[in-house]
């Protein structure tokens, strides 16, 4: 396992124990970076208009299209570190 992958997994664990809940835009960024790092580019169908939360998540993740797994992992690690 690479050093970055270990840091990423530690950051995922730390994200569940943040001292205070981040604002919604930060939560969307955390979600999008996690999905990009763990799954890659978004290939899912865009949720319907009435599913506002699902749509916001889809848009956030889709905005990272083309970001490499390594870059997404590093950005996720850095973001969680800045919130801890």
What range defines the domain where residue 70 resides? 3-83
pLDDT in tens, 30-44: 999 999 999 999 999
Domain count, the chain: 1
Number of helices (H), then strands (E), belonging to the chain: the values are 4, 0
pLDDT band of 1, cuts 50, 70, 90: low
Mean pLDDT of 49-58: 95
Res 5: pLDDT: 95
Domain with residue 9: its CATH number is 1.20.80.10
Of 20, 22, 42, the C-alpha closest to 32 is: 42
* Chain centre to alpha carbon of residue 49: 22
DSSP 41: S
Q: What is residue 1's three-state secondary structure? A: coil
What pLDDT does 71 receive? 96
Compute the average pLDDT of residues 65-83. Answer: 96
């Amino acid at each position: 396992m690479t050093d970055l992958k270990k840091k990423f997994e530690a950051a995922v664990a730390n994200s569940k124990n943040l001292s205070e809940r981040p604002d919604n835009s930060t939560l969307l960024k955390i979600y999008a970076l996690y999905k990009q790092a763990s799954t890659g580019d978004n290939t899912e169908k865009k949720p319907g208009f009435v599913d506002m939360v699902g749509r916001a998540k889809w848009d956030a993740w889709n905005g990272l299209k083309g970001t490499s797994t390594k870059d997404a992992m590093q950005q996720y690690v850095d973001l969680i570190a800045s919130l801890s």
